[in-house]
Amino acid sequence: MASRSCLTVILAAGEGTRMKSSLPKVLHPIAGLPIVAHVAKAVHGAGGSDIALVVGRGAEKVEAAVRSIVANVTVHEQTERLGTGHAVLAAREAIAAGYDDMLVVFGDTPLVETAALEQARAKLAEGADVVVMGFRPGNPQGYGRLIEQDGRLIAIREEKDASEAEKKIGFCNGGLMALRGDSALPLLGKITNSNAKGEYYLTDVVEIANAAGKSVVAIEISPDNVIGINTRAELAEAEAIWQNRKRRAMMLAGVTIQAPETVFFAHDTLIEADVILEPNIVFGPGVSIASGAIIHAFSHLEGAKVGPNATVGPFGRLRPGADLSAKAKVGNFVEVKNAKIGVGAKISHLTYIGDATVGADANVGAGTITCNYDGYNKALTEIGANVFVGSNSSLVAPVSIGDNAYIASGSVITANVPADALAFGRARQEIKEGRAVQLRARYAAQKLAKKAD
């Protein structure tokens, strides 16, 4: 397949009015990636290195989403909505450049799989001129039926035009199509709008190709591949299907997911074998987790790296730039942002570490925070190897704590601490014997006075 060139026409000019959104329909995200980018990703995986993108509203943003996946993109505006055949021919110039294969897909079908597109291309390589991708829904009502004869696809019959016998056919048109490159323009050019709606239908290519003695076949793909998104309800349904696919793939690759239905992945989440995921975990984009790590329940990770045998949570929060080395521990109610945590370092609970480095085997006590922001600028906190930071300490950046140093609990550290030093940064404690009795009497009198008023 690598020796055959391929152009993919992505139809993404729909208005998407039923989404009731100012954002173009194909830019709504699934697993953190725009719908149309999912389509481009599948196309790219099937060897579609060149894309002709047919756009309408929000053209620049749609183009940017596709270019984030595939570099070679030409953009073609569809100024009128005159049917799918008309939409494909908006990319006439790109099609005329000459390719071995041509795929036609929709920008709002985020669940289309690379394997399905590869299957269609394989049929072209075997000699087919037109390949229609069909599916078998639980209920075929409302779908166009694929009419086959002796292994050939002879027609796509819309339900309103189908006979009673044809309505019993369960093999339906999914809308996705592949065409032999040198046959594409001659066939597409013969589509007419002589129908009740006055539109140019891509499906007419089947009968046109048969009349010209071309080879037309249908292949069966799973129904998920052709699910289009028109409403936010359908968007949520597609998200659920995508997540279930990802969960299954993760578990088959050796990841333990204790309650799969409660774990949510991003489109680019990378997790190695022998990682354990407890319930109720959310992954934002840009997360990688190495083998042996454990992510405890109710944790949220985004833009973060978790090293081998490290642990996060429960209720851990890793924000972009968090980088945990091997055997590091980020415990319950700990937030880490833009910080490198060294091998074996422990940040066990109720702590914020931002814009910092934490050395190997350091221990950061509960309630500690790095004061990294002065209202205008961020500054770095450096915590050396084997440092012990006592509970409820504030480290005011920029500040550096040398290897093996101790920070006394409750300290506010504003100056650098040398290696092996002990630093106190808190008010001196004083005890006033009997003063509590006087305070209680005073406060009680004040309370009574307020009531009297």
How far is the C-alpha of 238 from the C-alpha of 280, rounded, in Å? 20
Q: How many helices (H) and strands (E) does the chain have?
A: 10, 34
- 141: which 2 tokens? 């009502």
The shares of helix, strand and coil residues in the chain, as percent rounded to the nearest 5, are 25, 30, 45
Tell me if 409 is assigned to a ligand binding site: yes
Q: Distance of alpha carbon 353 from its chain centroid, rounded?
A: 26
Tell me if 149 is assigned to a ligand binding site: no
- 108: which 2 tokens? 């709002």
Tell me if 359 is assigned to a ligand binding site: no
How far is the C-alpha of 318 from the C-alpha of 312, rounded, in Å? 8
Tell me if 108 is assigned to a ligand binding site: yes
Within 83-156, where are the H helices? Answer: 84-89, 92-96, 114-125
Tell me if 13 is assigned to a ligand binding site: yes
Tell me if 286 is assigned to a ligand binding site: no
Tell me if 173 is assigned to a ligand binding site: yes
Tell me if 200 is assigned to a ligand binding site: no
Tell me if 372 is assigned to a ligand binding site: yes
How far is the C-alpha of 345 from the C-alpha of 332, rounded, in Å? 15
Count Cβ neighbours within 10 Å for each residue of 364-402 and write b for 16 or more, e otherwise: bbbbbbbbbeeeeeeebbbbbbbbbbbbbbbbbbebbbb
Tell me if 373 is assigned to a ligand binding site: yes
Tell me if 121 is assigned to a ligand binding site: no
Tell me if 84 is assigned to a ligand binding site: yes
Tell me if 262 is assigned to a ligand binding site: no
Distances, alpha carbon 317 to alpha carbons 48, 337, 352, 413, 415, in Å: 38, 9, 10, 24, 28
Catalytic residue among 38, 44, 267, 349: 349
> What number of CA atoms fall less than 13 Å from residue 253's CA on the CB side?
12
Tell me if 83 is assigned to a ligand binding site: yes
Q: Nearest to residue 174, comparing CAs of 128, 224, 210? A: 224
Tell me if 78 is assigned to a ligand binding site: yes
Distances, alpha carbon 161 to alpha carbons 142, 144, 166, 195, 440, in Å: 11, 9, 9, 12, 90
Tell me if 157 is assigned to a ligand binding site: no
Is residue 296 among the annotated active site residues? no
Annotated binding site for acetyl-CoA: 366, 372-373, 391, 409, 426
Catalytic residue IDs = 349
Annotated binding site: 11-14, 25, 78, 83-84, 108, 144, 158, 173, 230, 319, 337, 352, 363, 366, 372-373, 391, 409, 426
Annotated binding site for UDP-N-acetyl-alpha-D-glucosamine: 11-14, 25, 78, 83-84, 144, 158, 173, 230, 319, 337, 352, 363
